[in-house]
């Protein structure tokens, strides 16, 4: 299991952020899990995502309408969770150097509403990997789970990642 990229604590003080060793396709192990730090969902997130998405359904924008509905309050739009997952993946700095592109999203499930004030985090499990025909990169299949701070699953599904293979020694 790997967590963020805070490494060690000095005797005299707070954790120091260091740059982790890069993870290439060759280094990624099926079954490995990574857990991000928490992210607070804010009113600004709801307003901003409403503007970006154009989804102004009253369950998102009208407190009185939402209060009378099944969730009892406004909820964030479903795709907001996908965007947060992609952002939280950025906390896994070891992938920064080798990651090339998101290739697909599959089997995505919306299991629980996300509210303003929720704290969420990402748990990522490496579900599989396949080298490309060229041999220069590979596809990593990741199972992504967006969890609320109490452990409830808000959303989950698969996301493919195109990732570089480790360069041959002396080629950089």
Note the pLDDT tens digit of each residue in 27-76.
999 999 999 999 999 999 999 999 999 999 999 999 999 999 999 999 99
pLDDT at 171 (0 to 100): 66
pLDDT at 17 (0 to 100): 58
pTM for the full model? 0.86
pLDDT at 3 (0 to 100): 46
pLDDT at 138 (0 to 100): 97
pLDDT at 53 (0 to 100): 97
Question: What average pLDDT does this structure show over 98-121?
Answer: 98
Both tokens of 73, joined, read: 């309050």
Rounded Cα gap, residues 160 and 100, in angstroms: 11
State yes or no: pLDDT of 83 exceeds 50: yes
State yes or no: pLDDT of 151 exceeds 60: yes
What does each C-alpha distance from 57 to 73, 127, 134, 145 come to in angstroms?
13, 35, 46, 26
Q: At what angle do helices 78-89 and 43-53 cross, to 10 degrees?
A: 110
Rounded Cα gap, residues 58 and 12, in angstroms: 51
Residue among 111, 159, 165 nearest 138 (CA) = 165
pLDDT at 172 (0 to 100): 57
H or E stretch covering 123: strand 119-131
């Amino acid at each position: 299991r790997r967590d963020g990229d805070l490494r060690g604590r000095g005797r005299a003080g707070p954790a120091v952020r260091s740059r982790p060793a890069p993870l290439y396709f060759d280094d990624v192990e099926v079954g490995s899990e990574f857990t991000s730090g928490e992210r607070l969902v804010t009113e600004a997130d709801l307003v901003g995502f409403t503007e970006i998405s154009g989804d102004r359904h009253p369950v998102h924008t009208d407190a009185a309408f939402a209060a009378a509905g099944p969730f009892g309050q406004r909820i964030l739009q479903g795709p907001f969770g996908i965007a947060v997952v992609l952002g939280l993946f950025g906390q896994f700095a070891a992938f920064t150097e080798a990651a090339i592109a998101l290739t697909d999203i599959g089997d995505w499930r919306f299991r629980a509403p996300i509210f303003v004030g929720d704290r969420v985090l990402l748990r990522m499990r490496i579900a599989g990997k396949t080298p490309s025909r060229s041999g220069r990169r590979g596809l990593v299949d990741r199972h992504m789970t967006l969890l609320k701070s109490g452990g409830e699953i808000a959303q989950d599904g698969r996301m493919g990642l195109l990732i570089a293979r480790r360069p041959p020694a002396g080629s950089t």
